[in-house]
Structure 1
Amino acid sequence: MMILILILAGCGKSEGGEIVSGKVNVVTSFYPIYEFAKEIGGEEANVINLLPTGVEPHEWTPRSKDILNTSKAELFLYNGAGLEGWVPNFMKGFGSDSNVKAIEVSQGISLIAAEGEDDHDHDHGQDESADHHLDPHTWVSPKSALVMVENIKNSYVEVDPTNKDKYESRYAALSEKLIELDAKFTEQLSKTTHKEIVVSHQAFGYLCRDYGLTQHAIMGLSPEAEPRAQDLISLSKLVKEEGIQYIFFEELVSDKLAKTLASETGVKTLVLNPVEGLTKEQEQAGDNYFTLMERNLQNLILVLQ
C-alpha cells in the first residue's frame, strides 16, 4: 500500500519535480532543454524543468526551493547566451557540498550579436556584461538545436559513463529527427518568393540566419520591451512597401501590439512560435518541439510563398 501511495504521489506535477535517488537527476532551465534532456536521458534520468507551463522565460526568477533542489542534482542544464539572467546568482546558492555540473547548452553555436538592443548603454564603460548584446534564441533553429542536443548528450556521458551507449543511441535518434526537420526547413524555405517576415519579438534570428530569411521585429529581444513610435512608423512603411500580408505574434506574450500594427496596416496576424514553452492546451494536446516547429514551417510557407 505504501509503495502504491508513493508511486501515485510521484505522478503529480511535471514542473518543480523532486530529486530521485538511483537516477541521473537533471534540472533544466526551460522547455526545449527539458524536452531534449528527457529524450536523451530516457529511463536513466529524472528530468525536472524549473519553468512552469505557460510562463515566459524572459520573465521568470527561481525560488529558494529551486536552488536547493538543483544543488542536489547531477546536472543543471541552461541555455546561456544571456537568456537566463538569474543563473550566476542561482549557482552561487548551491553550497560547497554540491556536486552539480552546470552546463551551458548553447556552447559551440556561433552566436548572433543583437542589433540595436542596448546601444545607449555603451557609455557606461565595458563592465556591462556582454550577454546583453547577444541574441539568446538559439533553439529556434534546428541547426542550433543539433549543437544543443550534442552538448546535452555529452553532459550525460560525463556524469554517467556506464550508460554511455544508451545516451548515444537516444541522441542519435533525436539528432536524426532534427536533421530531417532542418532539411525540410532548408528545402521548403529556399523555394519561397518572399524572404522578409515581421514578428512581434526578435526571437527568430537563428532561424532567419540559417534559412535565408530576414526578420523585422516590432520589439527587441525581450518580449516586454516597448517599441518606439518611430519604429512602428517605419514598420508600417516596410509592410506597405514590401507588400507584407501577415504579422507574426507568439502565444506566451500579449499579442496587443502585433494586432495594433496589423489593424493599422490592414494585414493579418498569424502565430510564429519561439518554442520557449508550451501553453497548458499544447501540453494537453501532446505538442512538443517538433510539432510546434512543423507548424511554424507551415505558417512561414503560407506567408512567404
Structure 2
Amino acid sequence: MKKIIRLILLVLTLGTLAVGCGSKNQNEEIQSENRQQTETKEASSEGGLKIYATMYPVYDFTQKIAGDKADVKLLIPVGQSSHHWEPGQKEMKELQEADMLVYNGAGLEGWVDKVLSSIDTDIISVDSSKDVNLIPSTHTHENEEVHDHEETAEDHNHEEEHEHGAYDPHIWLDPKNAVIQIENIANALIIADPENADFYRANLDKYREEFMKIDTMYQEQLSSPAKDTIVVSHEAYGYICHEYGLNQVGIEGIFAEGEPDAKTMAQIIDYVKNQNITTIFTEELIDTKTADAISAETGAKTVYLNPLEGLSQEEINSGEDYISVMKSNLEKLVEALS
C-alpha cells in the first residue's frame, strides 16, 4: 500500500480536491457506530491504509471518515495530556511503518516537524488545522480578572512553523472548526486511496451535517444566558467563548502550564465571589486540587467539563465520542450560566 501511495504523491498534492456534500445522518445510529469503530479497527481490509492520529479529536474524526477502509490508531496513550507528551522510540518505530499521520496542528504537537524529518519513509502528514482561523494565545493572568483573548488570526499562514504557545490549539471545540478538520482529513484520504473516494465523501457529508447540528444547538441554547463567564481548570475553551459570546477565567493557562501563584488564586477567588459564579469546571486529565480549593473557599461546586483532549478508556468503550461529549458539555454550560 505504501508503494502505491508514493506513486500517488508524485502526481497529487493535498488541498486541491473539492469534496461534495450530501447524505443525511440518523442521530440514533451514532453511539452504536462508535462502538463498532473502536472495537473492530483490526478488521479493516488487508492492505488498507495504516494511519496514526496524534490525539483524541483527530483520532475520532479520522475514524469517522475512514470507517473500515483503514486501520486508525491513537498515538498519544489514553489518559495522557496532549500538551506535554512527546513520542518515544516505540512510537517512532510505529510511525516508520505508517502510511499517514493525522495531527491537530495549531502548535499543539510541537514535536511533529522534528519527527517527520527524522522518519525515513514517505508518510503522508495531515495538518487538520489548515484553513482554521486561529486565536492567538496572548493572555496572561497578571493584572486581569476576566481573561478575554478571543481575537482571531484571520490572516494566519499555516505554511509557517507554529511556535508552541503562539496560538490556542483547542480548535475542535468550535464545531465549525471541526468541520474544517474533517474536510482536511477526507481530502487526504481521497488522495491516498482514490478507489474509496465515494465512501470517504459520503462519511464527510454525514458528519459535516452532524457537526453543524451541534453548532446550531450551541447557538440556540447559549444565545442569551443569565451569565457570560465560565471558570475552568485551564483555558481550553477560547473557541467556544469566541463563537458563542462567552468569557473564560482559567485556573491554568491555555497549555495547562501549572498551578497559579498566590496572587492569581486570590484574584480568581475574589472574582468567583463577586460575580456569583456557582460552578468551577474541572477536567479528568488535570489535578483538581486547585479547583477544589477555590470551590471550598467560595462555595461554588465543581463540575467535570470535557475539553476532549482525551477520553478515558471507559468512555471510549461505552461509545462516547466527539458528538456525545459536545452535547453533554452544552448541557453543563447551560446549567452553569443560568
TM-score (normalised: structure 1): 0.87
Task: Give SS of 1:35's match.
Answer: helix
* Count of paired positions: 283
Partner amino acid, structure 2, of 1:266 = G
Task: Please name the residue that 1:93 is paired with.
Answer: 118
Q: Which one of the candidate residues 227, 242, 249 is aligned to 1:216?
A: 249
Deviation at 1:224, TM superposition (A): 3.9
C-alpha RMSD of matched pairs (Å):
2.4
Q: Which amino acid aligns with 2:272?
A: V
Structure 1 vs Structure 2: percent identity of aligned residues? 36
Counterpart contact for 2:141–2:264, Cα < 8 Å:
no
User: Do residues 284 (structure 1) and 320 (structure 2) align?
Assistant: no
- Counterpart for residue 208 of structure 2: 175
Question: Equivalent residue of 2:303, what SS?
Answer: strand
* 1:65 shift after superposition: 2.5
Unaligned runs of 5+ in 1: 1-12, 120-127
**Residue 89 of structure 1 aligns to which amino acid in structure 2?**
K
The SS at the match of 2:52 is strand
Using a 3 Å threshold, how does the CA distance of structure 1 residues 81 and 27 change in structure 2: closer, same or farther? same
The answer to whether the 8 A contact 1:118-1:132 is kept is no
Letter of the 1:207 counterpart: I
What whole-Å deviation, never above 9, does each CA across 1:211-254 have from its counterpart, x for those lacking one?
11111101111224221222111111211221111110101211
Rate the CA distance shift 1:106–1:77 in 2: closer, same or farther, 3 A: same
What's the CA shift for 1:141?
Answer: 1.6
TM-score, normalised with respect to structure 2: 0.79
1:243 paired residue number:
276
Whole-angstrom CA distance in 1 between matches of 2:309 and 2:118: 25
Give the deviation of 1:69 after TM superposition: 2.0
Partner of 1:150: 183
Q: How many Å separate the matches in 2 of 1:22 and 1:145?
A: 29
CA distance in 2, matches of 1:20, 1:168: 19
2:138 partner letter: E
C-alpha distance 117-68 of structure 1, shift in aligned 2 (>3 A): farther
The Cα of 1:104 is off from its aligned counterpart by 0.9
Question: Hey, what does 2:24 align to over in structure 1?
Answer: none
Q: Does 1:267 align with 2:300?
A: yes
CA distance in 2 between partners of 1:154 and 1:204 (Å):
27
The DSSP-based 3-state class of the residue aligned with 1:57 is coil
Show the counterpart of 2:87: 62
> Which segment drifts farther, 173-182 or 274-283?
274-283
Assess if the C-alpha contact under 8 Å between 2:106 and 2:162 holds in 1: no
Does the 8 Å CA contact 2:165/2:255 hold for their aligned counterparts? Answer: no
Partner Cα separation in structure 1 for residue 90 and residue 273 of structure 2: 51
Give the match for residue 200 of structure 1.
Answer: 233
Q: Deviations over 1:49-96 (max 9, x none)?
A: 10222121112221223222223322111011111122122212211x
